[in-house]
């Protein structure tokens, strides 16, 4: 690779260059936030199965970054989400999912590894589902809650994300109501079903 030595004297750099590995999605110089299975209580359909798994061992379900960008509409927050493979009963490992506190802010997800889905719904009840494989970019429109789901039984599902830095995260609505739809495995294949626990 060509060495860029002529830029050495550029002063007062305000830009950022961060490496996210295409292998594991991690940024070597940054610390990801880890979400444990124990923090996902109530999020899965099969609560008994989750308790049974926790009685044996807690584990990391997903990791993501908060780069600490200023909470300002002119800034962009970005990073990777690394969702590990596995299931709770028939339900694939997934992120908790959230609305943005600034509801009308969008987000971009770009898949770099694995195989999964992005499940989206707005407060009016419109549901969107997009399948993601490496190279696929999904635009999450304003007003849509979003959750990622890993349907591979071996590989992590890794996505790079970008959103307006002041969007904020509303996890509470999903924690109390859930998503209207769930993705479960039926006869070895993913299937979208109505969430029996969904609470209007
Ligand atoms: Mn988001």
Residue-wise pLDDT for 105-128, tens only, equals 999 999 999 999 999 999 999 999
Q: From the CA of 168, how far away is ligand 1's center (Å)?
A: 8
Cβ atoms of 151 and 90 closer than 8 Å: no
Q: Give me the residue spans of the domains in the chain.
A: 33-194
The predicted structure's pLDDT at residue 14: 84
The predicted structure's pLDDT at residue 11: 67
Q: From the CA of 136, how far away is ligand 1's center (Å)?
A: 17
- In this prediction the pTM is 0.92
Q: From the CA of 190, how far away is ligand 1's center (Å)?
A: 23
The predicted structure's pLDDT at residue 1: 62
Q: From the CA of 148, how far away is ligand 1's center (Å)?
A: 10
175: Cα within 13 Å, side-chain hemisphere: 7
Q: From the CA of 20, how far away is ligand 1's center (Å)?
A: 19
Q: From the CA of 160, how far away is ligand 1's center (Å)?
A: 11
Q: From the CA of 65, how far away is ligand 1's center (Å)?
A: 12
Structure-model confidence comparison of residues 15 and 1, the more confident one: 15
Q: From the CA of 89, how far away is ligand 1's center (Å)?
A: 26
For the ranges 9-18, 50-59, 112-121, 182-191, the lowest mean pLDDT is seen at 9-18
Q: From the CA of 40, how far away is ligand 1's center (Å)?
A: 17
Distance CA(96)–CA(37), nearest Å, equals 10
Residue-wise pLDDT for 130-152, tens only, equals 999 999 999 999 999 999 999 99
Listed in sequence order, the residues at least 6 apart from 53 whose beta carbon sits closer than 8 Å to its beta carbon are: 37, 88
Q: Extract the tokens encoding 182.
A: 């769930």
Q: Extract the tokens encoding 6.
A: 């002529």
- Res. 10 pLDDT band, cuts 50 70 90: low
The predicted structure's pLDDT at residue 61: 98
CATH of range 33-194; options 2.60.40.10, 1.10.10.10, 2.60.120.10, 1.20.1260.10: 2.60.120.10
**How far, CA to CA in Å, does 45 sit from each of 36, 42, 88, 190, 198?**
17, 8, 8, 15, 10
Q: From the CA of 147, how far away is ligand 1's center (Å)?
A: 9
């Amino acid at each position: 690779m060509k060495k860029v030595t002529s830029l050495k004297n550029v002063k007062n750099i305000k830009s950022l260059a961060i490496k996210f590995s295409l292998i594991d999605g991690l940024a070597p110089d940054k610390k990801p936030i880890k979400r444990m299975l124990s923090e996902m209580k109530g999020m899965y359909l099969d609560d008994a199965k989750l308790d049974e798994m926790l009685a044996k061992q807690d584990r990391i379900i997903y990791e993501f970054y908060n780069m600490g960008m200023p909470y300002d509409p002119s800034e962009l927050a970005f990073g990777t989400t690394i969702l590990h493979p596995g299931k709770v009963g028939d339900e694939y490992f997934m992120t908790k999912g959230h609305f943005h506190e600034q509801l009308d802010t969008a987000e971009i997800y770009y898949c770099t590894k694995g195989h999964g889905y992005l499940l989206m719904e707005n407060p009016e009840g419109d549901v969107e589902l997009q399948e993601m494989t490496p190279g696929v970019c999904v635009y999450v429109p304003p007003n849509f809650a979003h959750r990622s789901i890993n349907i591979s039984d071996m590989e992590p599902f890794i996505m790079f994300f970008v959103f307006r830095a002041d969007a904020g995260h509303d996890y509470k609505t999903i924690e109390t109501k859930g998503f209207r739809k769930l993705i479960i495995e039926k006869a070895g294949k993913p299937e979208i079903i109505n969430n029996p626990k969904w609470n209007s």
